[in-house]
């Protein structure tokens, strides 16, 4: 029975007054993930991916759900083990999605918008689907597909077992043969294909991209696609060689669009009126992504090139890292219905908001949302006013919402607000009723050179104001990413265990302008270390922090900086280095993305290794006295496990208290965010055990 409003309010007050425990490691199984929201063409409902962990074990289930934009409870729509990437047909009658069952190859499925059983559309061989887009008239789908090399298929393995044969040797001729999170694919590459929406028949259309990182979009008349691709033989080492191509769907020769400048190009989008092509890109020969990804447009013939965000200091690839949503470093842009504006979605000073810019020269970016939050969009309804989004904050995990964009010309009035309406509340019972989440407070310090360093602090719930508590400094990876206003289960867990948690965005982070990011290009352990010293000093001066019980941790580049810190100061009583970088000389050839000589860092690893070794934390391990836990995944292809093995061996040989926890080859670099829940929980318990022991 529904309670009267006044009674509901009193019930909530009584619940709030009762002391609730903070977030625990096992609460990971209670958290519900939402992603990939897609609004129907008529704007009436949103399909999205809902994910949840099984009660025990390591599986995560993903299904499609639907929710009405005018209210009403969300409902489950599909029942597969791993259903994702939903896309409405142009007429709104069908939804295509990818189904990836454990024992079969991923396939495209179709389901009626009215419900019923999903029907398998494709019968592709073993391989990977990188993304797909409906044609404007809905008769075809363009898809990025990469077949698995024959010897790697389950059928080939079964045949070898039957014949008592060994696994064959790998024959590798190209540096690009693996990618963290994507696996080891050898010489196989993604190609652009076409799928008949009635029969599922597949035909290859474009195979020139040598790294398979291309993006594509349909021309509004459906006769061709625009593709951003790198066809150079050395594409992995030279991402700036990307070009734009027009590819006719009838077969025929792909034509390069001449006019756009040399540089990285991604997220290509054709305007609804057919008059413009937009993309995110960087001009010049920059390799590592420290420069801003900016917005460009041109005519389909390559003329009238416009650098729309060239006068502003935003990076369209600024990504906020959290453990409640999968991190993507792809730029996000989308045309407005009238083809006069482009909607954008990027991180800035820790927030991620909805914004737009007019294609008219001299226009400025306009922000349509504000506040301490992360807003990520999916797509627009046909009328161009309703936008499917996810919204989360540091105190509440992501939920599905709908944004109503301001009417009229978005550029006439500065920063016209969009109206956000939350449509789901999957995580509200956990974070508002069962557990007590910790408020997160922003702060700012100045480093020795006067640089402003933005950070946040979480204080344990219920702690006395006079108490001096142990503290944990956590450092993000990238390094060219940012912490921000997004939910972090891990940080809430640390705070609930009694620790003050401090996080910050030192130089090298995205979201604070290009100079803030480029300050550490080829110079790790310089400006970033200066900024972290200011954060450490701030922690030591806080009345609520016991400066003798401070710990430091970080993953990936955060692991690098953790290693660097313990080699340069004894301010910390304990450290945890996770999926770290320790030796830039050996990392040159052990990473899935080899370090290009003379590009980001000076020199190379064979006869000019001085700069790489000078910036390697391992060089300074003779000074380490901090007890250190070492964590790594054996399946990490970005920062190979040998990086942590060197840390563990050096500390053991020197008699420094240390322990190493290795997660299996089935996990990857992003295990702490998107790995099996049982292993993620195990990892958090290892963290708490180590810090409890030494802090």
Task: Encode pLDDT of 157-182 as tens digits.
Answer: 999 999 999 999 999 999 999 999 99
Tell me, what's the pLDDT at 9?
46
Classify 313 as helix, strand or coil.
coil
Task: Encode pLDDT of 242-278 as tens digits.
Answer: 999 999 999 889 999 999 999 999 999 999 999 999 9
Nearest to 350 by CA among 452, 279, 215, 419: 452
Under the banding of pLDDT at 50, 70 and 90, the label for residue 442 is very high
Tell me, what's the pLDDT at 415?
86
**Enclosing H/E stretch for 404:** strand 396-404
Average pLDDT over residues 140-158: 95
Whether the per-residue pLDDT at 42 is higher than 70: the answer is: yes
Question: How many other β-carbons are positioned within 10 Å of the β-carbon of residue 612?
Answer: 24
Tell me, what's the pLDDT at 443?
98
Tell me, what's the pLDDT at 167?
95
Whether the per-residue pLDDT at 328 is higher than 90: the answer is: no
Tell me, what's the pLDDT at 2?
41
Tell me, what's the pLDDT at 662?
98
Whether the per-residue pLDDT at 315 is higher than 60: the answer is: yes
Tell me, what's the pLDDT at 289?
87
Higher pLDDT, 39 or 288: 39
Under the banding of pLDDT at 50, 70 and 90, the label for residue 133 is very high
Tell me, what's the pLDDT at 6?
45
Whether the per-residue pLDDT at 5 is higher than 80: the answer is: no
Whether the per-residue pLDDT at 689 is higher than 90: the answer is: yes
Classify 27 as helix, strand or coil.
helix
Tell me, what's the pLDDT at 108?
98
Residue that is written with structure tokens 């009405």 in the block: 68
Tell me, what's the pLDDT at 10?
46
Task: Encode pLDDT of 107-132 as tens digits.
Answer: 999 999 999 999 999 999 999 999 99
Rounded CA separation 173/528 (Å): 37
Task: Encode pLDDT of 333-363 as tens digits.
Answer: 999 999 999 999 999 999 999 999 999 999 9
What's 672's DSSP letter? H
Residue that is written with structure tokens 């057919």 in the block: 274
**Enclosing H/E stretch for 589:** helix 584-590
59 token code pair: 């599986």
Under the banding of pLDDT at 50, 70 and 90, the label for residue 96 is very high
Task: Check: CB of residue 530 under 8 Å from CB of residue 592.
Answer: no
Task: Check: CB of residue 149 under 8 Å from CB of residue 125.
Answer: no
Rounded CA separation 9/469 (Å): 35
Classify 83 as helix, strand or coil.
strand
Classify 10 as helix, strand or coil.
helix
Long-range contacts of 516-522 (CB under 8 A, 24+ apart): 516/451, 517/290, 517/291, 517/292, 517/315, 517/480, 518/290, 518/291, 520/479, 521/288, 521/290, 521/600, 522/600, 522/601, 522/602, 522/611
Tell me, what's the pLDDT at 464?
86
Average pLDDT over residues 315-338: 91
159 token code pair: 């045949």
Residue that is written with structure tokens 């809430």 in the block: 492
Mean pLDDT over the full length of the chain: 94
Classify 397 as helix, strand or coil.
strand
Whether the per-residue pLDDT at 472 is higher than 50: the answer is: yes
Residue that is written with structure tokens 């509340």 in the block: 425
**Residues with a known catalytic role:** 556, 669
354 token code pair: 């909805």
Tell me, what's the pLDDT at 73?
97
Describe the strand order of the beta sheet including 277-283 as a list of residue ranges. 263-270, 277-283, 294-298, 306-307
Under the banding of pLDDT at 50, 70 and 90, the label for residue 502 is very high
Whether the per-residue pLDDT at 16 is higher than 80: the answer is: no
Task: Check: CB of residue 190 under 8 Å from CB of residue 211.
Answer: no
Task: Encode pLDDT of 375-421 as tens digits.
Answer: 999 999 978 899 999 999 999 999 999 999 988 778 777 889 999 99
Whether the per-residue pLDDT at 313 is higher than 90: the answer is: yes
Tell me, what's the pLDDT at 4?
42
Rounded CA separation 668/675 (Å): 8
441 token code pair: 């407070």
Task: Check: CB of residue 456 under 8 Å from CB of residue 503.
Answer: yes
Tell me, what's the pLDDT at 11?
43
Tell me, what's the pLDDT at 680?
97
Q: Please give the span between the terminal C-alpha atoms of the chain, in angstroms, as a whole number.
A: 49
Cα 596-602-607 angle, rounded to 5 deg: 85
Per DSSP bridges, beta strands 366-367 and 341-348 are: unpaired
Under the banding of pLDDT at 50, 70 and 90, the label for residue 103 is confident
Task: Check: CB of residue 555 under 8 Å from CB of residue 672.
Answer: yes
Tell me, what's the pLDDT at 3?
43
Helix residue ranges, H only, 136-183: 154-162
Whether the per-residue pLDDT at 14 is higher than 60: the answer is: no
Rounded CA separation 672/313 (Å): 31
Task: Encode pLDDT of 518-560 as tens digits.
Answer: 999 999 999 999 999 999 999 999 999 999 999 999 999 999 9
Whether the per-residue pLDDT at 7 is higher than 80: the answer is: no
Whether the per-residue pLDDT at 101 is higher than 80: the answer is: yes
Residues paired with 143 in a beta bridge: 132, 193
- Ordered structural domains, the chain, with CATH: 441-694 (3.40.50.1820)
């Amino acid at each position: 029975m529904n309670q009267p409003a006044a009674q509901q309010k009193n019930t909530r007050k009584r619940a709030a007054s009762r002391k609730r425990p903070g977030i625990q490691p096992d609460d990971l199984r209670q958290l519900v993930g939402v992603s990939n929201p897609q609004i129907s063409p008529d704007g009436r409902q949103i399909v999205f991916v809902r994910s949840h962990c099984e009660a025990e074990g390591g599986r995560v289930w993903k299904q499609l759900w639907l929710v009405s934009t005018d209210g009403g409870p969300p409902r489950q729509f599909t029942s597969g083990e791993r259903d994702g990437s939903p896309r409405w047909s142009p007429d709104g009658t069908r939804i295509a999605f990818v189904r990836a069952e454990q024992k079969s190859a991923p396939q495209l499925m179709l389901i009626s918008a009215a419900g019923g059983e999903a029907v398998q559309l494709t019968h592709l061989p073993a391989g990977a689907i990188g993304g797909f887009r409906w044609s404007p008239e809905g008769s075809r789908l363009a898809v990025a597909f990469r077949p698995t090399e024959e010897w790697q298929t389950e059928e080939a393995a079964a045949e070898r077992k039957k014949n008592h044969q060994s696994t064959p040797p790998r024959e590798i001729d190209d540096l690009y043969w693996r990618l963290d999170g994507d696996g080891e694919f050898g010489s196989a590459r993604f190609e652009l294909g076409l799928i008949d929406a009635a029969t599922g028949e597949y035909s290859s259309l474009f195979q020139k991209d040598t790294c398979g990182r291309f993006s594509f979009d349909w021309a509004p008349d459906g006769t061709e696609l625009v593709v951003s691709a790198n066809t150079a033989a050395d594409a992995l080492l030279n991402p700036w060689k990307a070009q734009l191509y027009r590819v006719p769907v009838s077969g025929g020769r792909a034509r390069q669009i001449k006019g756009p400048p040399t540089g990285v190009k991604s997220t290509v989008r054709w305007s609804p009126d057919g008059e413009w092509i937009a993309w995110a890109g960087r001009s010049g020969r920059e390799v590592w992504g420290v420069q801003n990804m900016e917005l460009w447009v041109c005519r389909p013939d390559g003329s009238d090139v416009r650098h729309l965000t060239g006068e502003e200091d935003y990076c369209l690839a600024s990504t906020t890292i959290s453990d409640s949503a999968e991190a993507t470093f792809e730029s996000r842009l989308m045309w407005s219905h009238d083809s006069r504006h482009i909607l954008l979605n990027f991180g800035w000073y820790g927030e991620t908001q909805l914004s737009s810019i007019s294609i008219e020269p001299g226009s400025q970016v306009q922000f349509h949302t504000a506040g301490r939050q992360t807003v990520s969009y999916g797509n627009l309804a046909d009328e161009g006013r309703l936008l499917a989004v996810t919204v989360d904050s540091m105190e509440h995990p992501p939920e599905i919402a709908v944004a109503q964009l301001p009417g009229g010309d978005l550029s006439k009035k500065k920063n016209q607000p969009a109206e956000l309406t939350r449509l789901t509340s999957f995580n509200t019972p956990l974070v508002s009723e069962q557990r007590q989440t910790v408020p997160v407070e922003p702060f700012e310090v100045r480093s020795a050179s006067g640089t402003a360093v933005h950070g946040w602090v979480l204080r344990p719930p219920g702690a006395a104001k006079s108490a001096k508590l142990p503290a944990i400094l956590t450092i993000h990876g990238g390094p060219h990413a940012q912490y921000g206003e997004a939910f972090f289960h891990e940080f809430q867990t640390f705070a609930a265990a009694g620790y003050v948690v401090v996080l910050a965005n030192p130089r090298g982070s995205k979201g604070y302008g290009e100079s803030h990011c480029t300050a550490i290009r080829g110079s790790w352990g310089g400006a970033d270390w200066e900024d972290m010293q200011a954060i450490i000093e701030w922690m030591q001066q806080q009345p609520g922090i016991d400066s003798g019980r401070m710990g430091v941790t970080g993953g990936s580049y955060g692991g690098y900086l953790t290693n660097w810190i313990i080699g340069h100061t004894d301010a910390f009583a304990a450290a945890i280095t996770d999926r770290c970088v320790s030796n830039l000389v050996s990392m040159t050839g052990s990473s899935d993305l080899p370090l290009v000589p003379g590009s980001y860092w000076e020199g190379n690893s064979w006869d000019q290794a001085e700069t790489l070794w000078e910036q390697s934390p391992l060089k300074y391990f003779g000074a380490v006295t901090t007890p250190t836990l070492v964590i790594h995944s054996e399946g990490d292809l970005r920062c190979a496990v040998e990086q942590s093995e060197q840390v563990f061996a050096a500390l053991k040989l020197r008699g420094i208290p240390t322990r190493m926890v290795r997660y299996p080859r089935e996990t990857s670099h992003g295990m702490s965010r998107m790995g099996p829940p049982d292993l993620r929980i195990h990892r958090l318990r290892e963290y708490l055990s180590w810090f409890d022991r030494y802090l």
